[in-house]
Amino acid sequence: MDELIFFVNRGLIGGLVIGSIYALGAVGVTLIFGILRFAHFAHGDVMTAAAFATLVLVGLLSGLGIDVGLPLAIVLLPVVFVLTALFTIGLDRAFYKPLRARGARPVVLVMASIGVTLMLQGLIRIVFGTGNYDLLGGERKVIYRIPTGFRDIVLSQPQALLIILTALSVICLHLFLTRSRLGKAMRAVSDNPDLARVTGISLDTVVNATWVIGGGLAAIAGVMLALDVNLQPDLAYNILLPIFAATILGGIGQPYGAVAGGYVVGFSETLAVFNWSVLLRPFAGVLPFDLPANLSVVPNEYRLAVPFVILIIVLIYRPTGIFKGRVF
């Protein structure tokens, strides 16, 4: 049984946590892709920037002695959500909107977003160096232990909050997209931008809403990721590929697809590097072969290959993704 709990802790919770991060990132990328028609390469660094903004705010406010039983970084999340949303709208105004207005091809916007990525990376490193930071401000991470009679199921507070916040975000997003006038307008623009113009939908409003949602969810993902691991300047650049894989797997412009894609990629990655020997160890006596010490599908250093392989398989066999997104 201990082995099974180990599997739950490492495999399932691990997959759920990283899958939530990917899902939050991929929802933003897929909305931007669907409405603005380009792959936003700076999304990872928007996450990192949000986490560093939190770091600064935590630093400023930690002296005030606010204590509500939650880490300050999480209390500040709504503030950072708004700040990041405004920041991404600003990025759009400064770098993407002028190109759209000129009628530039979508790949030019992709290139511009790579330029933005590099600028953000550069700025963050100039200000914060390349070291590690702790978003908890020196406090100890709260760990929940759920007794099972065997080994405990272990879950840290940020992990639990991340899973809850992701679920809440997805529900809110669902209600927004299906119930609100603006949400429906967003879906309309993503579906058929020309027809949306005909009906008088204001593209500017829809674009801003897209950045608010995309940027805000990226802020949640970035802060939670920084709480779960460590805050460092290349925190999120490395998860860009899994996020894109999740986006394409889910179908471009399909927020639910992006959520599903995020969890598929997250679980595949976690399970691929999971050491299955642990689970098989109780059966070592009955197995026809000697159990190797490490039996994982992919060695840990090749973790990144998993989303890449998923991406390639989707591109070969179903470029529209599981939820039939757009391809053009």
Q: Does 307 bind other proteins (CB under 8 A)?
A: yes
- Applying CB under 8 A, among 10, 75, 106, 212 the residue interacting with other proteins is 106
Q: How far is the CB of 155 from other proteins (least distance, A)?
A: 30
Match 């039983």 to its residue by tokens.
Answer: 69
Q: Does 1 bind other proteins (CB under 8 A)?
A: no
What CA–CA distances, in Å, run from 188 to 105, 194, 197, 198, 310? 21, 10, 10, 11, 29
Q: Which stretch, 2-10, 59-67, 219-227, 239-247, contacts other proteins (CB under 8 A)?
A: 239-247
Tell which residue, 63, 72, 41, has the closest CA to residue 223.
72
CA pair distance 179, 83, nearest whole angstrom: 25
Closer CB to other proteins, 31 or 161, in the complex: 31
Q: Which stretch, 11-19, 57-65, 149-157, 301-309, contacts other proteins (CB under 8 A)?
A: 301-309
Q: Which stretch, 5-13, 138-146, 256-264, 305-313, contacts other proteins (CB under 8 A)?
A: 305-313
- Applying CB under 8 A, among 59, 98, 146, 167 the residue interacting with other proteins is 98
The residues, any chain, with a CB within 8 Å of residue 322's CB and separated by 6 or more, are 249, 250, 251, 257, 260, 261
For 197-224, letters b (16+ CB in 10 Å) and e give eeeebeeeebbbbbbbbbbbbbbbbbbb
Evaluate whether 20 touches 220 at the Cβ level (below 8 Å): no
Match 């591109």 to its residue by tokens.
Answer: 315
Q: How far is the CB of 140 from other proteins (least distance, A)?
A: 27
Closer CB to other proteins, 158 or 183, in the complex: 183
Q: Which stretch, 19-27, 66-74, 94-102, 211-219, contacts other proteins (CB under 8 A)?
A: 94-102
Q: Does 100 bind other proteins (CB under 8 A)?
A: no
Q: Does 6 bind other proteins (CB under 8 A)?
A: no
Q: Does 126 bind other proteins (CB under 8 A)?
A: yes
197-236 positions binding other proteins, by CB under 8 A? 197-203
- Applying CB under 8 A, among 78, 90, 282, 319 the residue interacting with other proteins is 319
What CA–CA distances, in Å, run from 163 to 18, 20, 43, 168, 246? 10, 6, 20, 9, 17
**How many CB atoms sit inside 10 A of residue 86's CB?**
15
Match 């020196």 to its residue by tokens.
Answer: 138
- Applying CB under 8 A, among 59, 90, 129, 282 the residue interacting with other proteins is 129
Q: Does 117 bind other proteins (CB under 8 A)?
A: yes
Q: Does 297 bind other proteins (CB under 8 A)?
A: yes
User: Rounded to the nearest 10 degrees, what angle do helices 255-273 and 240-250 cross at?
Assistant: 130
**251, 249, 121, 219: CA torsion to nearest 10:** 70
Residues contacting other proteins: total by CB under 8 A: 70
Binding mask 23-42 for other proteins (x = CB under 8 A): ----------x----xx-x-
Reduced to 3 states (helix: H, G, I; strand: E, B; else coil), residue 208 is helix
Where is 263: in which H helix or E strand? helix 255-273
Q: Does 111 bind other proteins (CB under 8 A)?
A: yes
Residues that bind other proteins (CB under 8 A): 33, 38-39, 41, 95, 98-99, 102, 104-108, 110-112, 114-123, 125-126, 129-131, 181, 184-185, 187-188, 190-192, 194-203, 240-241, 244, 248, 297, 299, 301-302, 304-305, 307-308, 311-313, 315-317, 319, 327-328
